[in-house]
Chain A
Amino acid sequence: MGTATGIIKALNSGIKHLAVKRFTLRYPEQKLKFVGDGYQFDPESGVAIAGLKGRHMLFHDHCTGCQLCSIACEGVAEAIAMVKVPDKWGQNAKSIMPQIDYGKCVFCGLCVDACPFYALYMSNDYELSSFTKEGLIYTPAQLQVKPQVQQDSELIIDKRGARHG
């Protein structure tokens, strides 16, 4: 193949893509849809359920304050601290629950694997940026709130290529 033919072929290959739909996702307007409601773990079978590893969800009515999540995090990021909570729960004698610092968390999900009481899950919320470092520390009360997420954009593959819609 001559040099000219090769260059023309290369240019042609690029020009063909003018007709292809845009693949990029327009992020703040469009958000990618994820599988399920986030990463969860079933301690009975010892297997997790697939989902996005985003911000944690803490179920106050299940948490016993056993600190296993905090111990699991010690070797990873030291992001979990156990703090006192004002309300009294029957199963939680010491009234301590995890507080997570997202400035340190690496979203590995080993804390979720460590929880034997179905109290700590991860959710689809990944927009956690804050102007201050203190804003990244989520108290047990903040972790209890179910995130409002609107993620509906999915990958579509057809004859004209791949796009998000």
Chain B
Amino acid sequence: MAEQVIPTKKMPPGLQVENVDDRIMTLNVGPQHPGSGHMRIIVKIDGDYIVDADPDPGYVHRGEEKMAESRNYITNIPHLERPVIHDSCNILYPYVLGVEDLVGIEVPERAKYVRVIAAELNRCIYIQYWLAIYGIFLGHSTMFMWPAGDRELLIDLMEKITGARVTHAYFIPGGVRNDVPANFEDVCLRQVNYFEKRIKEYADIFYDNPILKARTEDTGVLSREDAIRLGTTGSVLRASGVDYDLRIKEPYDVYDELDVHTNVLKSGDSYARSKIPWLDMLESCNIIRQALEKMPKSGSIRTKLKPNPKGREDEVYRRVESGRGSAGCHIISRGKPEPYRLKLSVSSFRNLIALPYLLKGEKLGNMPAVYWSLNYWPVEADR
């Protein structure tokens, strides 16, 4: 052990002195893209083993919540979906539901179904992107190419509906902005069926692959109690054996009319956390097929809104199940066209708290496998 460093004079505030150990090395992973988006993990390693890990988010903070206070309820839409551009429908969903509560408008039945379809398509698009990066993190370059390619099928669909490949700005208080194009049901069904067939092929090459299992099984085990205690959500929570999905527990729009199943795995390791999103995609395909069947064939798509809607003096909190877990939006209104305060409660930030607990005692080489299995999106966590 090295000699203790004792400060001889009083240190200025903010500076800290810590003991230097010969064995322990501090390593900065990041902030230049350890995965996707800027964040840093400060790991202390003893040889090849991680002694301590400290995630350090905040490099891509954009002040979304403050920006929302100076914009009205409609012009807030394009910038509020920026935290997760691949999952832009789901991150916008709680905001739109909250504004509908505040303004007091009803959504037409057909618009609810279209929203569910768009949200589920977006969930698949997000998970495919996440899976591609998980593949390349583990050195499996085929698993980068396949999801990135198959994702195009659904991006094409979203482009047909919304007119944009990412950042759709599609949901609006009162419904959706435009109706789906003619003949959309057939095109959607065809493409979703093919997509489902494709993602089932991932089982052989990735999920049943012994190399992947050797790499991820029994690494970063999060027990059921810890998952609940740390407040994790979404795929991380369900991989630890807790059956909790907001689409079932707090159904919004038409999820209560659809037959939604959740996928729960008990092991709580990186393998389970990487498999749950894939099972979610298969479930999403089922939901889209049901919604296409039950959707009213014609009807209104949007309740007309006043040009500059004012919310009543109240506060609302709505949450939805996004691609990563529960995404919430708390809006405080003071009767003005702008929200007085808007708070986004995002799942990435809530799942990140598990990282120091999971990495302790792991090998450094397993860090990417554990880190990315948390279904974490740096930009969303920083908002």
Contacts and interface: CB of A to CB of B under 8 A. Distances in A.
B161 A50 contact: yes
A106 B166 CA distance: 11
Given A3-B210, A7-B209, A10-B204, A113 B79 contact: no
A81 interface: no
B274 to A, nearest CB: 16
B78 interface: yes
A156 B205 CA distance: 25
Contacts of B180: 50
Interface size class of A (residues with CB under 8 A): 35 or more
Interface in A104-156: 106-110, 113, 122, 155
Contacts of B302: 46-47
Interface in B178-212: 178-181, 190-191, 194, 201, 204-206, 208-211
Contacts of A75: 70-72, 75-76
Interface string B153-171: 1001001111110010100
Contact of B163 (A24, A106, A109, A155): A109
A119 to B, nearest CB: 17
B205 A13 contact: yes
B181 A50 contact: yes
Interface residues of B, number: 44
Contacts of B341: none
Contacts of A155: 153, 156, 191
A19 interface: no
B289 interface: no
Given A51-B163, A157-B190, A24 B201 contact: no
B177 interface: yes
A72 B179 contact: no
Nearest to A22: B149
B105 to A, nearest CB: 12
A7 B79 contact: no
Contacts of B213: 6
- Per CB-CB distance, the 5 closest pairs between chain A and chain B, nearest first, are A75-B75, A48-B178, A13-B204, A6-B210, A108-B78
Given A1-B208, A110-B169, 5 more contacts: A6-B213, A74-B75, A77-B78, A108-B77, A109-B169
22 contacts: A7-B209, A10-B209, A12-B204, A13-B205, A34-B159, A36-B181, A39-B163, A46-B304, A46-B305, A47-B302, A51-B163, A52-B159, A52-B163, A53-B163, A53-B164, A75-B70, A75-B76, A77-B78, A108-B77, A113-B177, A155-B153, A155-B191
